[in-house]
Structure 1
Amino acid sequence: MVILDAPYASDMLLSWLEESQHPVLTNRFTRSIDGFKLNLVDDATAISLIDSGQRVYTNSENALAWIMENTHADSLKHGISVFKDKLEMRRVLKDLDKNLFFKECAADELAVINYSELPETIVLKPTVGFCSMGVYVINNAQEWQNALEDIKRDSARWQQMYPDSVVNAGRFIIEDYICGQEYAIDAFFDSQGKVHVLNVLKHDFASAEDTSDRMYTTGADIYAQMAPVFTDWLQKVNEVVRVRDFPIHVEVRVNGQHVSPIEFNPMRFAGLGGTDVSQYAFGFKTYQAYLDNAIPDMSAYKLHTEKVFTMSLLNPPADTDGTENFDYDAFIENFQMVHEMRKFDVSKVGNYGFLFIETTPDSSELDFLMHDDLSRFIEKR
């Protein structure tokens, strides 16, 4: 069972759904899809399939509210409740990060917080969020004030793009800045609660203050090195949460031997179609592996250790307002092996698109991609 919703479903996903004829919920978004013959089912059929235990996958967290409001699948709803709310996740998993500071506050309470009483470096973010919206790394009182002004200015725009179940600008969590290398994980818990890690992406940043989704890189070496670590850690997570038949996209940081969660994204893999990078890197689709229980033999990819595959979400420069044109042709000329350049409506999604490229780990293309602010490709309308 698949629930598709705004803002975006990739052609790769839609083509596979047309071929496989997995049932797809009929809603406003699926009725707007042209060019694909999907196996659309009504609410009653979808609820019956989900309540009977059929595996369900979503492409968008916009679909979570429908699951919570319409189904009786208590395990799914429990997992969504724990994982989607960053504060609840911290509370439930506190024994895995016993020394981590965190606290919740309403948006209108931020202005009265005494910054001097907080840890030296903190992260401020919505308790329910998506795609780095409203996430700030703060090192001093001036940066704190800058973040509050930014939230006041932009929170209404976030809410226009996504419902409260995806981004809620009314509640925030303040927590310690977690040091270490960041990774993203596409994984699922099977019918026995066992973890299957389908992809591992190394998430790099241009600076300590950078919170963008510009640089996610995967490959055989990255997977072979980190998948066993994350399998063991996620098994410990599920000893506490206890979900079954549950897909998850997780952002973590690894410091030495310790894994700390940044956030969990329930019922989906990498968002806005980003999980499709597994097709380019390893030749399989993560959602097919989950829905069909077709778990790939990842050892087959060891021969391709010299290659890395990057997905990059192209965030607009700070001084743009979404009314400009982006010169995609000029941009992709900077890369030798472009697998795909997916174009987004920046006013609806908040980004210009997703780039999928193939390089080597030391390629100068990756340095360019991480550090360029994209302003040279902006054209005023």
Structure 2
Amino acid sequence: MILLDKPYVSKFLKETIEKYNFPTLDTGNVIEKGELSLIGSEQIVQHFRDNTNSRIYTNSENSINWVLNHLSFTKLPEYINVFKNKIEFRKLIQGMYPDFYYKEVLLKDLDEVKLDELPMPFIIKPAVGFLSLGVHKVVDENDWLRVKQLIREEFTDAQALFPIEVVNASSFLIEEVIAGEEFAFDAYFDENGEAVVLGVLKHLFASEKDVSDRVYYTSKELIKAYLPQFKQFVQDLGEQVELKNFPVHIEVRVDEAGKLVPIEVNPMRFGGWCTTADLTHLATKLNPYHCFLSNIKPDWDQILNEMDDEIYSLIILDNSTKIPSSQISHFDYEKLLNRFCNPLELRKIDYKLYSIFGMLFTKTPRDEFHEIEEILVSDLCDLVIEESH
């Protein structure tokens, strides 16, 4: 079963629902009338009462509130809390990573933090949050003054946009910087608790201080290199909570010595805004939604054998112009598309509401990878026109 909610449902997810006739509930008035055949809350609740191995997927964490209210008799609220709350998550994996430094601090106590007691540099992020909202790297005392101010501004804006369950600004996690390259991947646990990995993506950054979500990519080479290690990690993780019939989106770093440290695990979904699962499908022809809901384990040997050698990227066009979105009258999507050899899908987003101009999926030959490196560092200023006053 599927719960659909704002901010975005992709064409691919809608097509998957129709093709496989997955029972679907719209928890956020996000589907146009007559667009999909929908069911009511009672049918999902009854299904879970009748069948302990029921599975539910949501495209958005906005639906978490619905799950907590309607499926409290299942294990789902327990699973959600241990991952959604990043402090609970660090406690959960403390046995796997005994030397890892983390500390909880309340928003109102930011000024009381003693810097000389913290590892420098460090990361601060909301205990409950998503996207890169409120995530900051602090390198020195001056930086800390700047970051505290930024956090206060960000959370004033965000609470008007998102439910309190999604952005709970009261508590923050301070933790040591995790070294290495960053990866994201989708996975699920079957009815026996076995981990199934549904794709591997690398998260690129423009600089040491960059914490944005601008570029993720996948390729045959990448999946082949990291799939066994990621599967083992997910299996070990699942055994800490005895997870079953549950989907997750995981972010990790792997250092030069090959040591993996998790950044976070997002419950009940794959990448937000229908991103990572859709990118995996474009690159591999695998349908992660179908795999989870129909209990299918990918034959990775066959998939890799049939894949091409190109690089498939997700480009998130966040507003990096330093011009407030409310003051931008136009974004030049055509000019953007002309910068890429093979744009696969462009999703235009209401940037005045979400401060994201859109999302672009591309296919790039290895020898043209500079087009991805260029958009990674671009401030996008040449693609926008400011409102005239």
Structure 1 residues without counterparts, runs of 5 or longer: none
Deviation at 1:41, TM superposition (A): 1.3
Instruction: Report the counterpart of residue 166 of structure 2 in structure 1.
Output: 166
Is 1:249 the equivalent of 2:249? yes
Matches within 5 A, 1:197-208: 197-208=197-208
Contact 2:138–2:144, Cα closer than 8 Å, also in 1: yes
Deviation at 1:349, TM superposition (A): 2.9
Contact 1:50–1:56, Cα closer than 8 Å, also in 2: no
Matches within 5 A, 1:312-327: 312-317=315-320, 319-323=322-326, 324=328, 325-327=330-332
Contact 2:197–2:227, Cα closer than 8 Å, also in 1: yes
Alignment partner of 2:172: what SS?
A: strand
1: distance between equivalents of 2:67 and 2:355?
A: 25
Letter in 2 for 1:184: A
- CA distances 1:48-97 after superposition (whole Å, capped 9, x unpaired): 22343321000000111110121135322211010111000000111111
Q: Tell me the percent identity.
A: 32
2: distance between equivalents of 1:196 and 1:17?
A: 21
1: distance between equivalents of 2:193 and 2:132?
A: 29
Deviation beyond 4 Å, 4+ runs, structure 1: none
Deviation at 1:303, TM superposition (A): 4.8
Matches within 5 A, 1:222-237: 222-237=222-237
**RMSD (Å) for aligned C-alpha atoms:** 1.5
Letter in 2 for 1:322: S
Is 1:19 the equivalent of 2:19? yes
Alignment partner of 1:236: what SS?
A: helix
Is 1:264 the equivalent of 2:262? no
1: distance between equivalents of 2:163 and 2:26?
A: 19
Letter in 1 for 2:46: S
2: distance between equivalents of 1:350 and 1:166?
A: 17
2: distance between equivalents of 1:88 and 1:55?
A: 24
Contact 2:343–2:362, Cα closer than 8 Å, also in 1: yes
> In 2 relative to 1, CA 304–180 (structure 1 residues): closer, same or farther, beyond 3 Å?
same
Letter in 2 for 1:328: Y
TM-score (norm 2): 0.94
2: distance between equivalents of 1:55 and 1:164?
A: 25
Instruction: Report the counterpart of residue 286 of structure 1 in structure 2.
Output: 288
Matches within 5 A, 1:174-193: 174-193=174-193
Instruction: Report the counterpart of residue 127 of structure 2 in structure 1.
Output: 127
Instruction: Report the counterpart of residue 84 of structure 2 in structure 1.
Output: 84
2: distance between equivalents of 1:216 and 1:252?
A: 13
Matches within 5 A, 1:1-381: 1-30=1-30, 32-34=31-33, 36=35, 38-51=36-49, 52=51, 53-255=53-255, 256-274=257-275, 275-300=277-302, 301-304=304-307, 306-317=309-320, 319-323=322-326, 324=328, 325-362=330-367, 363-381=369-387
> In 2 relative to 1, CA 135–223 (structure 1 residues): closer, same or farther, beyond 3 Å?
same
2: distance between equivalents of 1:240 and 1:277?
A: 29
Letter in 1 for 2:241: V
1: distance between equivalents of 2:34 and 2:144?
A: 48
Structure 2 residues without counterparts, runs of 5 or longer: none
Contact 2:27–2:66, Cα closer than 8 Å, also in 1: no
Deviation at 1:356, TM superposition (A): 0.3
2: distance between equivalents of 1:252 and 1:203?
A: 10
- CA distances 1:184-235 after superposition (whole Å, capped 9, x unpaired): 0111011100011011001110111101111111111111110100111111
1: distance between equivalents of 2:14 and 2:353?
A: 20
TM-score (norm 1): 0.96
Alignment partner of 2:217: what SS?
A: strand
Contact 1:251–1:261, Cα closer than 8 Å, also in 2: yes
Q: Which moved more, 1:99-108 or 1:300-309?
A: 300-309
2: distance between equivalents of 1:19 and 1:234?
A: 29
2: distance between equivalents of 1:333 and 1:125?
A: 36
Matched residue pairs, number? 379
Letter in 2 for 1:183: F
Q: Which moved more, 1:119-128 or 1:345-354?
A: 345-354
Contact 2:284–2:307, Cα closer than 8 Å, also in 1: no
1: distance between equivalents of 2:143 and 2:366?
A: 33
Q: Which moved more, 1:303-312 or 1:352-361?
A: 303-312
Alignment partner of 2:209: what SS?
A: coil
